[in-house]
Structure 1
Amino acid sequence: MNVGIEDLHVAYAGRNVVAGVHLMAAAGEIAGLVGPNGSGKSTVLRTVYRHLRPAAGRVLLAGADIRTLTPGQTARHVAALPQERGSDFELTVREVVAMGRTPYKRAFAGEDRDDRETVARSLAAVGMAGQDARRFAALSGGERQRVLLARAFAQDPDVLVLDEPTNHLDVRHQVELLALLRAQRRTTLISLHDLNAAASLCDRLHVLHGGRVVASGAPRAVLTPELLAEVFGVRAAVTEHPLTGDPLIAFDHRRLPPSSPASGAGPDGEG
């Protein structure tokens, strides 16, 4: 299922945070949103999973305006892993992941075999098989992250919306997560701060700056030293990864480019 965002505007306290954003993810494509803090990445993603209503513009799923769908219909198509994640669930790991099956259940309906198999498969996919009975609140940050991702997988969506999913994950689990997302080949919108991870994972990148898309395209075409200096305020060289052949960004940690723009957080602290 393809996703299109047309002329999106979102305002906080009378100030435009996202202004005229156009971007897309083709069916089965992993589209990354990158940009400095406050550029509007999380705000754009929140409109896709309907946490925010835009002031203007549309989010389209396979050409249909998402606002014409009921919340239940949306939940069958779109699963989200937002940045703000609950840590006080008095539930087991299995119960949290089983919440992903809710869009497919009638009121008061119990689990069936398909639900149980989907939950087990989702936990195994994120490396949490056998952890069903643990309390969610007792997990580490990285474990919670993986359980919530399993809940999104259990939803069996056409579209995944992931806001900084590698946060709290150690290096091994970051690599495993990126490999898992690549193997799924499910339409995915993902925001990432790690530009090298974005270059490795994404088929297409949309670079946001000041609430607007300033560049879109394949990672190799988008992540140039000139763009990195202008948008991120860093001095960098872009080479080829010796193992994968992906673009590899080497940052100069000793000095910034001339007239480097200051980077600040947006009104909600989003990235």
Structure 2
Amino acid sequence: MRISIDDVTVTLAGRDIVSGVTLVAAEGEIAGLVGPNGSGKSTLLRTVYRHLRPRTGRVLLAGRDIRSMSTAETARHIAALPQERGGDFEFTVCEVVAMGRSPYKRAFAGDDAADHEAVADALDQVGLAGYEGRGFAALSGGERQRVLLARAFAQRPDVLVLDEPTNHLDVQHQVELLALLRAQRRTTVISLHDLNAAASLCDRLHVLHEGAVVASGTPREVLTPELLAKVFGVRAAVVEHPLTGDPLIAFDHREPAGPHPSGGAGRAFVSRSGHP
């Protein structure tokens, strides 16, 4: 399903954290949000999975305002993996993943064969088959992250909303997760700090700076040395990855580009196609 963010502004504590953002993730597209810390990525994602209500604008799922849908109906279509995980769960891995089936069930209904199949399939996808009986609280941070991703997969959603899903994962599991998301081709809106991972995974990137989208386009269009210097405050070269052909950012770790951008400097950027 297509997800559209239409002129969304989010105000928290009297300040606009996200300001007039418009972007689209087409059906089957992986749309990445990148930007410095505090640029509004997580806040914007929270509006997509209904944790926050925008002050203005709307989020559309296949043309329908998600605020016109019930919470359960939204959850049958949109699954989220937020950054905030809450406290330790005193549940088994199987019980945590089975929580992803709740949008399809009546209150206090037991699990049926379809639920068991969805849970088993989700755990297999994240490489945790055989972990069903383990306690969630006893897992490593990376294992917990994969269990929570399995919970999102168990919802069998049309849209995935993922906020820094590679946090706590080692390199092998980061690569496996990105490959899994790429292979699924499910409509996905994802925030990533790792710009090289974003360049490899995403069909389109939207760069946020101070709550506004300052560039949109393919990774090759967006990730230029000029943008990296002005938005991220780093000196870098963009070359071709020798194995994949994707854009590869080589950062200069010895010399920064200069003072980190402030004010509205980054807002002058637009995509090469001319769209914000």
Pick the TM interval, shorter chain.
Answer: over 0.9
SS, match of residue 17 in structure 2? strand
The amino acid that maps onto 1:62 is: A
Please list every run of 5 or more consecutive structure 2 residues that lacks an aligned counterpart in the other structure: 264-276
The residue that corresponds to 1:35 in the other structure is 35
Deviation at 1:108? Answer: 2.0
CA contact (8 A) 1:83 1:163 kept: yes
TM-score using structure 2 length: 0.94
CA contact (8 A) 1:145 1:165 kept: yes
Deviation at 1:12? Answer: 1.2
SS, match of residue 196 in structure 2? helix
The residue that corresponds to 1:98 in the other structure is 98
CA contact (8 A) 1:41 1:208 kept: yes
Identity in percent: 77
SS, match of residue 127 in structure 1? coil
Question: For 1:78-117, what aligned pairs fall within 5 Å after superposition?
Answer: 78-117=78-117
TM-score using structure 1 length: 0.95
Q: Within 2, Cα distance between the matches of 1:119 and 1:259?
A: 48
Say whether 1:145 aligns with 2:145. Answer: yes
SS, match of residue 117 in structure 1? helix
Question: For 1:1-271, what aligned pairs fall within 5 Å after superposition?
Answer: 1-261=1-261
The amino acid that maps onto 2:230 is: E
The amino acid that maps onto 1:77 is: H
Deviation at 1:87? Answer: 3.7
Q: Within 1, Cα distance between the matches of 2:235 and 2:62?
A: 39
The amino acid that maps onto 1:4 is: S
Deviation at 1:110? Answer: 1.2
CA contact (8 A) 2:234 2:258 kept: no
Q: Within 1, Cα distance between the matches of 2:109 and 2:12?
A: 40
Deviation at 1:16? Answer: 0.6
Deviation at 1:86? Answer: 2.6
Deviation at 1:256? Answer: 1.4
CA contact (8 A) 1:32 1:190 kept: yes
Please list every run of 5 or more consecutive structure 1 residues that lacks an aligned counterpart in the other structure: 264-271
CA contact (8 A) 1:233 1:262 kept: no
SS, match of residue 188 in structure 2? strand
Q: Within 2, Cα distance between the matches of 1:89 and 1:260?
A: 39
Deviation at 1:158? Answer: 0.3
- Higher RCO (C-alpha 8 Å, min separation 6): 1
CA contact (8 A) 2:228 2:234 kept: yes
SS, match of residue 46 in structure 2? helix
Q: Within 2, Cα distance between the matches of 1:70 and 1:229?
A: 43
Q: Within 1, Cα distance between the matches of 2:120 and 2:143?
A: 16
SS, match of residue 110 in structure 1? coil
Q: Within 2, Cα distance between the matches of 1:57 and 1:143?
A: 37
Q: Within 2, Cα distance between the matches of 1:56 and 1:70?
A: 20
SS, match of residue 153 in structure 2? helix
SS, match of residue 245 in structure 1? coil
Deviation at 1:261? Answer: 2.5
Deviation at 1:259? Answer: 4.1
User: After the TM superposition, which parts of structure 1 deviate over 2 Å for at least 4 consecutive aligned residues?
Assistant: 258-263
